[in-house]
Amino acid sequence: MVVVGGAIPALLMAGIAGGGCTDDVYTYSCDDDIPPMIDDKPCRDAGPAADACDGADDCNDAGTGGGGAGTGGGEEEGGGDGIGGGLSSLCVGQCVPAEPPGWFEPMLLWMGPPDSAPDCPATAPVPGFELHADLVVEPYRCAACACDPPDASCEVPAAWSAVDSSTCPAGPGAQRTPFAAPEAWDGTCTTANAIPAGQACAGGPCTQSLDIPAPRVRPGACAPSVVAEPGEEPGEPQGSFRWATFARACAGVTPPAPCGGPGMRCSPAPPEGDAAPPEGFLTCILHHEGEHECPPTYPSRRVVYEGAEDSRGCTACTCGEPSGGACSVLASAFSDEACSVFVVGALVTSEAPFCGAIAPGTALGSKSAAVVDLEPGSCAPGGGEPIGDVAPRGAVTFCCLDRQPQPPEPPRLWNPELG
């Protein structure tokens, strides 16, 4: 099994889980008529009366002092509640719906051909997930199976016999005299069961013709092998897979800032202007464990994957029983005991036995046999069939806005005369 894909980057996980940028941002109000503001230090100059509050002792956290009503119409006791939607201008990115519980905060997502993927934009520079979609699997082709010739041998015939009839084949009343070779005979000269000259049988001399059975092919097992195509290594299966779509997620370093309501949050990359992300990026939230339905605020669903598991393979090559073997034996009979005085010889094949007439009463003193041809036959190959599949793994669900949000409203200027 082959596993392809990467793990979730620790940098992105740490940044998202921690809420993005770690700089603390606070809301402050002064005892004088300077309006509340958001900053990373107390009592920053905020208007024509800046010198009225220039020390840390003159400031109180917003909402805890007795400041006047805020610019957004808040009540007097909690002056910080009056910030309202005007402070959306403090979001240097874009104001988008907040993520539901269990989802990671909004980030930018690009999806497209792998060779066209852009880098993360400057406003969302933290590389996050690099994932994939649209798995394309090429047909898996196994190497063809073959079988080597069987390890066969030719068994020379041993059950020779003399017949008291010159007719071949002899009739049912003919008498046979054994002229057999020893068991497991290898064909070397032997005098076993010699028949002397003139031996008489019921029909006359016992040796008037000679019967020799057909040799037999002893089949052996076939060894399986694979056939190499031109330009390929033997046994290497063919069939790759690839991802047609690449997905890149980019996280920002946007400081926390109010966006006009409890259901909104500030996310990286404004939708237009010099800091806008390149074309093709979407604002999305994500759930990194499995496939999930999207919330209504982020309705456009995209499921991507960390990688794929390739469990494909080929069944083992096998070979059937051997068949089609044949062999030929040169069989010879002699009248003496040293296989030197020739009587009769024949080429006997495994397809048919031999029967031949000899001079009546001839002595059969010895015999020999030699294999002259062997066709071992063949075995039918089996196996070599593709099995398994390629399956995506590590599903990640992105839910995106149908369209990019509009830029935040321009900041509302504070007028000390109007309050």
Q: What is the 3-state secondary structure (H, E, C) of 267-333?
A: ECCCCCCCCCCCCCEEEEEEECCCCCCCCCCCCEEEEEEEEEEECCEECCCEECCCECCEEEEEEEE
- Are 308 and 135 within 8 A, CB to CB? yes
State the pLDDT at residue 57. 41
Residue 263: band (very low, low, confident or very high) from pLDDT cuts 50, 70, 90: confident
| Tens-digit pLDDT profile for residues 105-123 | 899 999 999 999 999 988 8
* Three-class secondary structure of residue 24 per DSSP: coil
Residue 56: band (very low, low, confident or very high) from pLDDT cuts 50, 70, 90: very low
- Are 196 and 207 within 8 A, CB to CB? no
> Length of the chain in residues, anyone?
419
The whole-angstrom distance between residue 241's C-alpha and the CA centroid of its chain comes to: 8
- Are 282 and 271 within 8 A, CB to CB? no
| Tens-digit pLDDT profile for residues 292-314 | 999 999 999 999 999 999 999 99
State the pLDDT at residue 38. 35
E strand or H helix that includes residue 16: helix 10-17
- Are 260 and 87 within 8 A, CB to CB? yes
Mean pLDDT of 14-18: 37
Sign of CA pseudo-dihedral 147, 148, 150, 151: negative
Name the pTM for this structure.
Answer: 0.56
Mean pLDDT of 66-78: 33
Mean pLDDT of 362-387: 95
Total H helices, total E strands in the chain: 1, 29
Task: Give φ, ψ of 378 to 5 degrees.
Answer: -155, 170
C-alpha–C-alpha distance, residues 410 and 412, integer Å: 7
- Are 383 and 316 within 8 A, CB to CB? yes
State the pLDDT at residue 411. 52
Q: Does 15 have pLDDT greater than 90?
A: no
Q: Which two tokens stand for residue 294?
A: 């999207």
Mean pLDDT of 211-226: 93
Contacts of 397 (CB under 8 A, 6+ apart): 286, 287, 290, 291, 292, 294, 301, 302, 303
State the pLDDT at residue 198. 93
Residue bearing the bigger pLDDT, 20 or 225: 225
State the pLDDT at residue 262. 79
E strand or H helix that includes residue 247: strand 241-251
State the pLDDT at residue 258. 73
Residue 280: band (very low, low, confident or very high) from pLDDT cuts 50, 70, 90: confident
Single-letter code of the amino acid located at 211:
D
Q: Does 356 have pLDDT greater than 90?
A: yes
Across the chain, mean pLDDT equals: 77
Residue bearing the bigger pLDDT, 258 or 207: 207
State the pLDDT at residue 114. 94
The reply to whether omega before 35 is within 30° of 0 (cis) is no
C-alpha–C-alpha distance, residues 4 and 195, integer Å: 81
Range with the lowest mean pLDDT among 68-77, 135-144, 289-298, 392-401?
68-77
State the pLDDT at residue 95. 84
State the pLDDT at residue 255. 67
- Are 356 and 168 within 8 A, CB to CB? yes
Mean pLDDT of 12-18: 38
Give, in degrees to the nearest 5, the angle at Cα 287 between 282 and 293: 85
Q: Which two tokens stand for residue 283?
A: 């604002």
State the pLDDT at residue 217. 94
Mean pLDDT of 383-401: 93
Q: What percent of the chain has pLDDT over 70?
A: 70
| Tens-digit pLDDT profile for residues 122-177 | 888 888 889 999 999 998 888 889 999 999 999 999 999 999 999 988 888 899 99
Range with the lowest mean pLDDT among 19-23, 217-221, 239-243, 281-285?
19-23
C-alpha–C-alpha distance, residues 234 and 341, integer Å: 56
